[in-house]
Structure 1
Amino acid sequence: MFTTLPKRGISLGLGDRIGIATPGHIKVAKKYNFFPVFAQQSIRELNFTGRTFTDVRKDALNALVEENYVGNSGFDGDHLKSDEEIQYALDSGITMLTLDCSEHMNKDSSIKDQIFEQFYNKSFFVNDMPIEYSDKNELNKIVSIYASVIERVIDVWNKFPKVNKKDVSFEVSVDETDVPTDEKTHFLISKYIYDEGVKIDTLAPRFPGEFQKGIDYIGNIQEFKKSLIKQDKIAKYFGYRLSIHSGSDKFSIYPIIGEVTQGNYHLKTSGTSYLEAIKVIAEKDPGIFKKIWQTCLDKREEMDKYYHLSCDPFSVPKDLSPTEYLQNPDGRQTLHVSYMFVLNPQYSFREKFFEILTKYQNEYHQNVANHIEKHVKELKIEEKS
């Protein structure tokens, strides 16, 4: 059954864009000690794939029954923005609400002056870490960017009974920005909403470096670790866990995440299982794969409207074999968001895509399991006894 997420420990947002990846996820969840969120989709993903939250719920539940999975798991309404999206997700039975605050950054707020006055010339200690707000210009910049975000979090908490009665886990996402979240910003957000009675379960900050889709972390690993240590101290101080978004395939920083958080975090890895599906397509029907790739080239600018990407698909060598595209960082990142067209009912790929995956579903499920298990091992998650 679907339940809220645990207060402590490791949880993984696995997600299933296509509706048939969950058996592969279950293979790993049966073997390792983490709380799985099998059902995880954003409104953006639903719109492109022609699915509903009801479809997501049904597909995941069917897989749980078919695979004889015993245990709880989560259902995440990911990157929800508007009240209408939130209500739709709640009505569909989500057990985790991820509030995307990106549209409220740098917006006017009725509580801006109040926040400034509450923090200006104040000093705080988070265990051994001092946090000071003595620089007027620095504080004004933070408040200008995040006051409306704070107001939105409080508004959602007060407006939706399932949220404030803790019928769902409540995550706040501030990662959809180019500016890394420093400790002063993180503390200010958490302190203000905490004082207003808001109890969140996870918060996704913007870490330094690049968390691009389906590829390893890009950036200074030691800088990431320094930031993670500070963010984790604040999260523990206020009683919630950190959430790491676009977390798939970030193998170089997985050991650090486990070490610093002491095994208390949520990590989202939705799109990587879709890439395993593309791998099967590339192996079994190179012709279809080439058409998918050409569509990616044709629609590259459209991808940027919906995703922050650093990839250049035109730089990918033309003499690669179909499966080698998935080993090339530019190719892999591009294909990660190709679901916008491949799974979209408005395009011609969908029927053939599912025909191939249905025929080779056992192979696909094993590929998914192997790839997710690689994540789990690098995260140093223990096997069940």
Structure 2
Amino acid sequence: MFTILPKKGISLGLGDRIGIATTGHIKVAKKYNFFPVFAQQSIRELNFTGRTFTDVRKDVLNALIEENYVGNSGFDGDHLKSDEEIQYALDSGITMLTLDCSEHMNKDSSIKDQIFEQFYNKSFFVNDMPIEYSDKNELNEIVSIYASVIERVIDVWNKFPKVNKKEVSFEVSVDETDVPTDEKTHFLISKYINDEGVKIDTLAPRFPGEFQKGIDYIGNVQEFKKSLIKQEKIAKYFGYRLSIHSGSDKFSIYPIIGEVTQGNYHLKTSGTSFLEAIKVVAQKDPEFFKKIWQTCLDKREEMDKYYHLSCNPFSVPKDLSPTEYLKNPDARQTLHVSYMFVLNPQYDFREKFFEILTKYQNEYHENVANHIEKHVKELKIEETIHKQKK
């Protein structure tokens, strides 16, 4: 049922923080031509929700059985950092390993000098794009930031047989930084690990602009397109696909992603289905929603310890109706991360939250399906009559 991701084509990381959203995801996956990753969670998400990878697997499998879904799908252990996290995820049956390299940026590395010597005064052509490393200071800065990242990728590849035997799809994530990944950095990382025999399946660079939670892309769309064109050339050169993180609700750039990659990418959308659950709560129990929102205000500083957010929830007009909060960018970002306490067993929200969603489960599933389908349509993913009937 769970398999590695395809080498080519479109795959979507859908994810389900709650454990009951997959039914809505399946409704869309049956209609459109993409590879679904229904099971996608990070250790951070598991810790806040009190779940395990086994729980995630079980919840998705139950939904697949109930909805008579017979196609393949992926199981992504998202943003894994330590060896212990990786081994735990592998033992739990993941079919995709997303390696978060953020903690290895700007760290000392035993291969720093070796990388520098390999690239200094060298020039390369990636299709029609020249890449030169003639500026000593520029190269030194790149190597100083990413040498330890490269070393970590090689280490994980060599250390875990399921990774180097290609029993799981291997994604490298370098997007958790404020500095956009330029073509020289991307090429250097990919060429060095490729020369060391590491074969990755997807890479998530840091694009220009802001990919905030649950809202549209913030930034210059044309600058994003220019960057994407360069990143795509490098990915194609080395034979892997680009991965776009925090990809939900980025409607203004979806047509560009499809056009530039020619329908060859992975995009992660996990948290947006949780927002659809919050919308149901706002509609059915406004007073309970208000308690959630007040806790969002109380916990705003704590959120920054775990997520990079640009939102200011205190700027949200107080006269909004509960459902209007879901249309306000500052509120959407904040509520996107509110799962930290809404789904957390250590708080008092969980029981009431699930009581509401259970009562209005069909409505929730339709909301999720409609919202994900909006993503799929903007991405210009083809509807196919050859897929399973609803």
TM-score range, shorter chain: over 0.9
Q: Deviations over 1:157-198 (max 9, x none)?
A: 000000000000000000000000000000000000000000
SS in 2 for 1:306: coil
2: CA distance between counterparts of 1:90 and 1:361? 32
Alignment partners' CA distance in 1, 2:290 and 2:24: 26
Partner SS state of residue 24, structure 1: helix
- The TM-score normalised by the length of structure 2 is 0.98
Provide the C-alpha distance between the structure 1 equivalents of 2:123 and 2:347, rounded to a whole number of angstroms: 56
How far is the alpha carbon of 1:64 from its aligned partner? 0.2
In structure 2, what is the Cα distance between the partners aligned to 1:362 and 1:38?
Answer: 18
| Partner SS for 2:98 | strand
Q: Give the TM-score, by structure 1 length.
A: 1.00
1:205 deviates by 0.0
Q: Deviations over 1:137-176 (max 9, x none)?
A: 0000000000000000000000000000000000000000
Q: CA deviation at 1:130?
A: 0.2
Q: Offset at 1:255?
A: 0.1
In the aligned structure 2, how far is the partner of 1:61 from the partner of 1:188? 40
1:306, CA displacement in angstroms?
0.1
Runs of 4+ in 1 over 4 A off after TM superposition: none
Deviations 1:75-126 (A, max 9, x none): 0000000000000000000000000000000000000000000000000000
Give the CA deviation at 1:209: 0.1
Q: Secondary structure at the match of 1:90?
A: helix
Q: C-alpha offsets along residues 209-228 of structure 1, whole Å, 9 cap, x if unaligned?
A: 00000000000000000000
How far apart, in 2, do the equivalents of 1:346 and 1:70 lie?
37
Could you say what secondary structure the match of 1:266 adopts? strand
User: Alignment length, in residue pairs?
Assistant: 385
Shift of 1:70: 1.5
Deviation at 1:346, TM superposition (A): 0.4
Q: Distance between the aligned counterparts of 2:58 and 2:220, measured in 1?
A: 41
Give the Cα–Cα distance (whole angstroms) in 1 for the partners of residues 46 and 355 of structure 2: 21
Q: Does 1:293 align with 2:268?
A: no
Partner of 1:8: 8
Q: Give the distance between the partners of 2:90 and 2:212, measured in 1 at CA.
A: 29
3-state SS of 1:130 partner:
strand
Distance 2:262 2:242 in 1: 11
Give a deviation string over 1:238-270, Cα, whole Å, max 9, x none. 000000000000000000000000000000000
> For 2:18 and 2:51, how far apart are their aligned partners in 1?
9
Cα displacement string for residues 355-378 of structure 1 (whole angstroms, at most 9, x for unaligned residues): 000000000000000000000000
Q: Quick one: distance in 2 between partners of 1:281 and 1:347? A: 17
Q: Distance in 1 between matches of 2:64 and 2:199?
A: 30
Distance in 2, matches of 1:319 and 1:369, equals 30
SS in 2 for 1:7: coil
Shift in Å, 1:279: 0.1
Residue segments in structure 2 that go unaligned for 5+ positions in a row: 384-388
Identity of aligned residues (%): 95
SS of 2:203 mapped into structure 1: strand
CA distance in 2, matches of 1:291, 1:354: 15
Distance in 2 separating the partners of 1:60 and 1:287: 31
What are structure 1's unaligned runs of at least 5 residues? none
Pairwise CA RMSD: 0.8
1:315-371 residue CA offsets vs partner (Å, 9 max, x unmatched): 000000000001000000000000000000000000000000000000000000000
CA distance in 2, matches of 1:74, 1:253: 25
Q: Distance in 1 between matches of 2:278 and 2:188?
A: 42
